[in-house]
Each structure stands twice: as structure tokens, then as C-alpha cells.
């Protein structure tokens, strides 16, 4: 039986401003803004993360951290950075909500068991944002839960939901290349690989023609948001990622725990996430109740991290994150 899936009307409350939390050598939001803009070459940047079961956002245009009424799970930006989505609710009460930076309001998108947000992908040719969700089961939003079928729907038409994957279990880690022909996929826990995606004449995913290529174990994998088809996965010691080029070629280790207060103290990192720009990622470090949000920049060959900025300061543990960075002019 198909569980109910409908658009919930109405908007929720306006965002409220928090006292900003900043990090690194700085203790003020202006310094964090300066450091992020220096890292990104002056491009407008938004970073969202989960803290205290709410989604918080640092926006370089405002230079402050805002606490939203968006529910506290993995936040994901749309490709244009104008919206950020996240899932909330317990089993039987799940929903998917969205914060709109233009209206500065939160609205529910759908209410259904299959409201566990996996990824958001922009079909550039059709100029449409697709939202991918599943049912994370009785374990709620545990990252090791064997989840259900994957569904997708256009963000502007949530009622037009379609099932797009039912061949294996699915986890949180589904991300697409820019052209949608490759995806980072984890059909079962710690089995990370690249899915070659084939579409039928109607634009749906043809599962019979899709091919999965295992790339190895690990956790918190990512798919490059361009068409390089690179994939990374966080290694078992949580101090480096293994970066692969297209189809698993040229695997190499990239250290990701070298920032002050982490690697020098024997601590590690977790929850790595590629941003909307392939040169940048976010993660949590150190691993523990004192976790903070960091944004880092890959070198041009994707062999090392050439710069870090600490976004948040000490406080309640930060959780999953995502960054949107304006495209280069």
C-alpha cells in the first residue's frame, strides 16, 4: 500500500538572528566572513548544518549565523543556493521542509514516510530541481539503517512522485554528477561505489541498464558536483579520504584531519560532504561533543586540502553540513 504523500500548505515562522558563533583565529563574524571569502575567491557562500536539532546557516552576505525553524537533519542546498531542504520528524510523523532565502520563510514540502532526504539534483537542461527521498525505517535517521526504495519528485511539483530505485537497500549517500549520468551510491553499509545511471525515453531511471561499480569500504562518501565523476570516501581511521577519478581510477589518500586542534591532538573527523563546487567540502571536526563545522578547499589536482576555515566555535555538537558556493562568473 502506498503511504500518503501530499503537499502541506502554509508557511512557518520567520527566522530569528542568533549571536554568531565563529572560529579559527577569529572571535567575530566579520573575521569568519573574511576568511571564507578569501578561501572561495570572494564568491558568495552559504553553509548550513544541524545543531541542537535545528538547521543553522552562515551567509557571507549577512556575516551572521541564523537559527532556522527547519528540522534538524542533513541540510541540502538547491544548485542556485536560494533554498535549503532538510527532513524532520520520527517514524510515522516524517516530513520534508524547505527554507527559502528570498522569502526568509520555512514551509513543509511533503509529509510521508518517504520524507528522508537523500539528495537534490538540478536537471540543467529541463531547469528543474529533483528531490530524492526514502523511508529510513524504524531506526529513524541512523546512518547505518538499511533504508527502503528511493523515490524522486520535482521540487516545484511534489505530488508527482515516482519510484526510481527498488533493487537494493539504500542509505543516505546518494549524490549525482552534474549531468546526472553518475551517482555515488551505497547499496549496503560500507559498500561504496559509483552507479552509472541510464534514463529511459520518458526521463525516468532505467534500473535494468544501470551499472554499479564497487570502489571500496569506508563511510560518508561524496560525488563531485561537476562532470569529472570523482568519488571520495572517508577512510576507516577518519583522518583521510580516498579520492578516485572517474570509474575508480587513480585512487589516492587526501588527509582531512590536519587542521589545528584536531590532527595535532590525535583527533579525527567525520560527516564529510562535497559542496556545490567541486573544489570545496565541509566536515565536522573533531569527532565528539566538541565537533565544529569546517570548510576546506581541494588543490586543483585533488591531492590535498590547501586551506581550512573553522565556521563555528565551541558549543553544542554540530552535525551534518552542506555548503553552497556561487558559480564563478
Residue-wise pLDDT tens for the chain (329 aa)? 333 433 333 323 322 222 222 334 334 789 999 999 999 999 999 999 999 888 999 999 999 998 888 987 889 999 999 999 999 887 778 899 999 999 999 999 998 888 889 999 999 999 999 999 988 765 555 555 567 789 999 999 999 999 998 887 766 689 999 999 999 988 877 889 999 999 999 999 999 999 999 999 998 999 999 999 999 999 999 999 999 999 999 999 999 999 988 989 999 999 999 999 999 999 999 988 889 999 999 999 999 999 999 999 866 788 899 999 999 98
User: What residue segments make up the domains of the chain, in order of their start?
Assistant: 1-20+63-166
> Residue 144: what pLDDT?
54
> Residue 8: what pLDDT?
33
> Residue 137: what pLDDT?
62
Is the CA virtual torsion 90, 93, 96, 97 positive or negative? negative
Specify the pTM.
0.89
> Residue 97: what pLDDT?
95
> Residue 190: what pLDDT?
80
> Residue 255: what pLDDT?
97
Contact (Cβ atoms closer than 8 angstroms) between residue 287 and residue 41 = no
Residue 224 CA to residue 243 CA, distance in Å, equals: 10
39-44 contacts, C-beta under 8 A, 24 or more apart? 39/280, 39/295, 39/297, 39/307, 39/309, 40/277, 40/280, 40/297, 40/325, 41/328, 43/325, 43/326, 43/327, 43/328, 44/81, 44/325, 44/326
Q: Which residues of 71-102 are buried (b: 16+ CB within 10 A; e: fewer)?
A: bbbbbbbbbebebbbbbbbeeeebbbbbbebe
Amino acid at each position: 500500500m502506498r503511504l500518503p504523500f501530499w503537499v502541506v500548505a502554509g508557511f512557518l515562522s520567520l527566522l530569528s538572528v542568533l549571536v554568531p558563533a565563529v572560529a579559527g583565529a577569529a572571535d567575530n563574524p566579520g573575521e569568519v566572513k573574511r576568511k571564507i571569502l578569501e578561501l572561495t575567491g570572494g564568491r558568495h557562500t552559504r553553509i548550513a548544518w544541524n545543531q541542537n536539532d535545528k538547521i543553522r546557516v552562515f551567509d557571507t552576505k549577512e556575516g551572521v549565523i541564523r537559527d532556522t525553524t527547519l528540522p534538524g537533519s542533513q541540510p541540502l542546498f538547491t544548485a542556485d543556493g536560494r533554498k535549503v531542504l532538510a527532513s524532520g520528524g520520527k517514524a510515522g510523523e516524517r516530513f520534508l521542509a524547505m527554507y527559502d532565502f528570498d522569502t526568509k520563510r520555512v514551509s513543509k514540502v511533503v509529509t510521508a514516510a518517504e520524507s528522508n532526504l537523500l539528495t537534490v539534483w538540478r536537471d540543467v537542461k529541463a531547469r528543474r530541481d529533483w528531490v530524492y527521498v526514502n523511508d529510513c525505517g524504524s531506526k529513524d535517521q541512523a546512518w547505518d539503517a538499511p533504508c527502503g526504495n528511493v523515490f524522486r519528485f520535482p521540487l516545484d511539483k511534489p505530488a508527482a512522485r515516482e519510484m526510481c530505485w527498488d533493487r537494493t537497500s539504500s542509505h543516505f549517500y546518494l549524490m549525482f554528477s552534474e549531468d546526472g549520468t553518475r551517482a555515488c551510491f551505497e547499496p549496503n553499509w560500507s559498500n561504496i561505489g559509483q552507479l552509472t545511471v541510464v534514463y529511459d525515453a520518458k526521463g525516468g531511471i532505467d534500473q535494468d541498464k544501470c551499472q554499479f561499480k564497487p570502489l571500496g569500504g569506508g563511510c560518508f562518501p561524496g560525488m563531485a558536483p561537476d562532470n569529472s565523476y570523482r568519488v571520495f570516501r572517508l577512510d576507516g581511521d577518519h583522518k583521510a579520504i580516498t579520492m578516485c577519478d572517474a570509474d575508480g581510477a587513480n585512487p589516492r589518500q587526501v588527509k582531512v584531519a590536519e587542521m589545528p586542534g584536531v590532527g595535532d591532538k590525535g583527533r579525527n573527523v567525520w560527516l564529510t560532504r562535497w559542496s556545490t563546487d567541486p573544489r570545496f567540502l565541509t566536515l565536522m571536526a573533531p569527532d565528539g561533543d566538541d565537533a565544529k563545522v569546517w570548510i576546506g578547499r581541494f588543490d586543483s589536482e585533488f591531492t590535498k586540502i590547501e586551506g581550512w576555515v573553522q565556521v563555528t566555535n565551541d558549543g553544542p555538537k554540530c552535525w551534518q553540513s552542506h555548503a553552497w558556493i556561487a558559480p564563478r562568473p
